Structure 1
């Protein structure tokens, strides 16, 4: 590229990518990733600093009924204890890829001993789980506001500590049901087509889950329609504290121009909500994988997203984001460290 000519940052990045010692386009989507990260960070020398996975956990009132999930609600707290003691899949993958891990109590129906897990468990408890939305709205307007702000605060604190790359995960028995309802309200896809097996329901349980969520969907459809599909109304009616916190976290991370790794079905549902509030939030997002949870492919199609991996995973916890992080790291490192034709003294193709 001739010197002295004004070029855009995108053109500068593309020139750097094209002049590495390789055929044009030979690194495939890694080249696109490198360029996007450079544009998000506003530099030709992007870097990923102190990357973190944040797992938001909360309980759902509907889970206590047994209508939408085979596991008892108490599993949420049990799994969170597994996270903070290092025994879950997300812990393994974070250790492997040198990712920080924070677990947020957004609203678990359990009291953890204060100070028992310093730096590992962040208490932002809004309540002891949401209310059963078969009977009443899941949360109040005040609870929703507090949850959104708490999610933003968690991201702000990590950013202040030097983190510029973040992925979100979740834990909450019953939260695939909330995600399916959110997906249906926003995309217009029938709720039955959004519902999946979640934590391993059998065929009979799946049918009951679909019937239950159709009743819930119909119950709140007039309120959602009257509000023009307002995100706050959807979250109040059928959301979870962890989903609301993730929504706020997405908004703050995008505002701070952080690199965001989107995980699976539930975290993408939270992104659907965040996008309604600020469409530009997706500009900072990289979609980690296609979840094996029914409905996620349609969610990704709705967003026009191209996931990086397709491994049939549907665990949650942020595991897909942790698995995809090395691809972002490789993209940044080849841009920063790979020799150019000029610096390596390699002849270019005629």
Structure 2
């Protein structure tokens, strides 16, 4: 596969963050009433977001949260502790405000929607739902490509269309079987052994973990000669919701909107997106270190340092939503603290 088979928008340029605004923010930080560096990474967050927003005193007010949902053919092989019907049931839960991400998005006063890319179970219309169903599920990628090229492009487009103007984009995901897909993607992208990157996902037992790992190894062997391009890896091993995350990440950065990446599955999407568009990397902030076994390794491969480590492994965008609150506080400190001159406080010698 080459870029000729992909949507035109995928190769549109992504501008670098504003270096002048970063410098101004760094100079402002040096004048605040605190010892230099005493707020640790909170100081760098303020500088980074200044670059994103092109102003020395950034703010985090308009947050976009989208949870992409889809089912996976590989789940029929017994890779999860839950039946596939749960994906559609959770979509309804997202829409009605009962899921963790629904609560957290409300706390952030975020623009929240669930996006249905294709579920085995029925999905009812709702004001908080964007229905972009492609198929009931992907194919079993241990035996066939997960998606056709047409399906891949539809999923990428669905994500791109959710990249809205704002101060921050958070992408969540839901799909029984999607940790299997994410592990396979990361193994293929970074040439990792399946057993190194594959974890227990929804809380499977050791026998199911062994089966899950073996299925990924089988799939890598089956598709080996085709895994030469990031888009081909995504098409053959990915999920509709993971591809939609890729589209949303790239589209957001093209709009000048930074992305707060969630856990293991969202990080797999980020890895694919950066492989497709390397200039995306500066626009990604990693929200937390998941308790999923392979997440630390995936972050290391990307050279990423997450903001939080709370032993979470829920997905949905929940860890990123918590990290967004930390960013809001970092920006408030940056813009509202007094300078030494304002407060009449003496500098250190």
> What corresponds to 1:4 in structure 2?
none
> What corresponds to 1:15 in structure 2?
27
Distance 2:23 2:260 in 1: 25
TM superposition shift of 1:314: 0.4
TM superposition shift of 1:277: 1.0
> What corresponds to 1:128 in structure 2?
136
Out of 195, 198, 201, the position equivalent to 2:201 is: 198
Structure-1-length-normalised TM-score = 0.91
Question: What secondary structure, in the 3-state scheme, does the structure 2 residue paired with 1:209 have?
Answer: helix
RMSD: 1.4
TM superposition shift of 1:203: 0.8
Q: Does 1:150 align with 2:147?
A: no
TM superposition shift of 1:42: 1.6
> What corresponds to 2:114 in structure 1?
103
TM superposition shift of 1:52: 2.3
> What corresponds to 1:237 in structure 2?
236
Distance 1:69 1:77 in 2: 15
> What corresponds to 1:266 in structure 2?
265
> What corresponds to 2:283 in structure 1?
284
TM superposition shift of 1:95: 2.6
Out of 210, 220, 227, the position equivalent to 2:213 is: 210
Contact between 2:183 and 2:194, CA under 8 Å: does it hold in 1? yes
Moved more, 270-279 or 131-140: 131-140
TM superposition shift of 1:97: 3.2
**Unmatched 5+ stretches in structure 2:** 1-18
**Unmatched 5+ stretches in structure 1:** 1-6
Question: What secondary structure, in the 3-state scheme, does the structure 2 residue paired with 1:252 have?
Answer: helix
> What corresponds to 1:61 in structure 2?
73
Runs of 4 or more, structure 1, over 6 Å off, are: none
Out of 145, 169, 174, the position equivalent to 2:172 is: 169
Deviations 1:109-152 (A, max 9, x none): 233233xx11x111111111111122221111111111111110
Deviations 1:198-245 (A, max 9, x none): 111101111111112111111111211xxxx31221122111000001
Deviations 1:264-310 (A, max 9, x none): 00000000000011112120111111100011000000111111111
> What corresponds to 1:3 in structure 2?
none
Distance 1:348 1:23 in 2: 9
TM superposition shift of 1:182: 0.4
